[in-house]
């Protein structure tokens, strides 16, 4: 059975291009509407989740709750699905960091989290964090489809664990917009489809 990766809906910090990381920023009106559109698409496709996990941060939890409205499935918040820690970059605007750090920030940004932000966490450290959870999914998937609602970088880390791919092209492909559904097959360890709503 497939795993459905959903990135939380938009927040004001997403709109401002401000790094959220572990900050518990709520969905804005656009983010709530994005979650509702995702729910409508999944309902139209007659997707029935057997299990659902989310990050405990409100933007992911509320997105998951909206997606699961009308379902008997309760979402399980798991701290391992928290966004990658961005250390000194958390709460900072990308434009501010670019102006302040110039080429060093551009190099960090293009590394796609494989290099830790100062005082933060690298993608490989995040992969180690989520690996025990991901390794359980083949057994869980026997019961039916799995819903995961989390964040940009931690979703990338889970996809890297599943596929055993961490090259730049793969990581770029693993990126996800706030209104995107990525469907993965655990048996083939590959993405089946990506849907923008």
Residues with catalytic annotation? 8, 83
Backbone angles phi, psi at 151, to 5 degrees: -130, 165
CA atoms within 13 A on the CB side of 129: 20
Chain-centre distance of CA 34, in angstroms?
A: 14
H-run or E-run covering 51: strand 49-54
Query: How far apart are the C-alpha atoms of 46 and 145, rounded to whole Å?
Result: 11
């Amino acid at each position: 059975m497939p795993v459905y990766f959903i990135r939380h809906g938009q927040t004001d910090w997403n709109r401002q291009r401000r790094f959220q990381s572990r900050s518990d920023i709520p969905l804005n009106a656009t983010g709530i509407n994005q979650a509702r559109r995702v729910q409508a698409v999944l309902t139209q496709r007659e997707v029935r989740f057997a299990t659902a996990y989310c990050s405990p941060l409100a933007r992911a939890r509320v997105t998951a709750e909206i997606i699961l409205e009308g379902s008997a499935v309760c979402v399980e918040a798991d701290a391992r699905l928290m966004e990658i820690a961005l250390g000194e970059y958390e709460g900072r605007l990308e434009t501010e960091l670019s102006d302040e750090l110039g080429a060093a920030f551009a190099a960090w940004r293009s590394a796609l989290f494989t290099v830790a932000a100062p005082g933060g966490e690298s993608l490989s450290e995040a992969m180690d964090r989520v690996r025990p959870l991901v390794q359980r999914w083949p057994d869980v998937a026997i019961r039916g489809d799995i819903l995961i609602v989390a964040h940009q970088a931690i979703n990338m880390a889970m996809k890297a664990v599943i596929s055993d791919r961490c090259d730049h092209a793969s990581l770029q492909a693993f990126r996800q917009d706030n209104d995107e559904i990525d469907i993965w097959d655990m048996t083939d360890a590959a993405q089946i489809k990506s849907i923008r709503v």
